[in-house]
Structure 1
Amino acid sequence: MNYFYILYSAALNQFYIGHTSESLQERLRKHLSNHAGFTSKSKDWIIVYHEEFETNSLAYKRELEVKKWKSRKRLEKMIQESNK
């Protein structure tokens, strides 16, 4: 399975948007490990949203679609509605 996902860091008060063909737990583990990159700035990332896709290219397409929104409010609304 392939995933589009959103992480949240309370320490940074920021979201991270990505996609993966790995399990979500494995991908989160890698974000929390010692590495270079945006998510290395904090170690409190949690998965707040995800969608499943048949192919990695569809998950990537969804990632690009959401990133183009450039709207934190729209992102927060999508996350909130998924938790109802």
Structure 2
Amino acid sequence: MYFVYILYSSKTKKYYIGSTDDPKARFKHHNYGATPSTKSGAPDWEIFYQEILPDRTAALKRESEIKRKKSRKYIEWIISSSKSSVG
């Protein structure tokens, strides 16, 4: 099982999209500043969205799909859609 996730840093006011098979460990790496692309937002990263996928290939494909949009509005739409469907 793999995960695609969206993080948000209140420090940098930016989102980060990634994928992993171990979300807890990956989240710690982001907040400890161990990931170069998210170091500037540490330790303020929060998980805003998470999606479960069956395998690494599917996760990488979905991560790429979200990143290709290059749209903050699209990211925020994904986040708000997931929150409204939970309630």
TM-score by length of 1: 0.92
**Structure 1 runs not aligned, ≥5 long:** none
Deviation at 1:47, TM superposition (A): 0.6
Pair 1:58-2:61 in alignment: no
Matches within 5 A, 1:65-76: 65-76=65-76
Question: Partner residue of 1:17?
Answer: 17
Separation in 2, partners of 1:14, 1:63 = 16
**Which residue is 2:34 aligned to?**
35
Q: State the Cα distance separating 1:50 from its structure 2 match.
A: 0.9
Q: Runs ≥4 in structure 1, deviation > 4 angstroms?
A: none
Distance 1:57 1:36 in 2: 22
Q: Determine the C-alpha separation between the residues in 1 that align with 2:76 and 2:68.
A: 15
Identity across aligned pairs (percent)?
37
Structure having the larger proportion of residues in helix:
2
Taking structure 2 as the reference length, what is the TM-score of the superposition? 0.89
- Structure 2's unaligned 5+ residue stretches are none
- Superposed CA offset, 1:53-75 (max 9, x none): 11011000000000010111111
**How do residues 41-52 of structure 1 correspond to structure 2 at under 5 angstroms?**
41-42=40-41, 43-52=43-52
Paired amino acid for 1:29: K
What secondary structure does 2:75 align onto?
Answer: helix
| Range that drifts further, 6-15 or 33-42 | 33-42
Give the SS at the match of 2:26.
helix
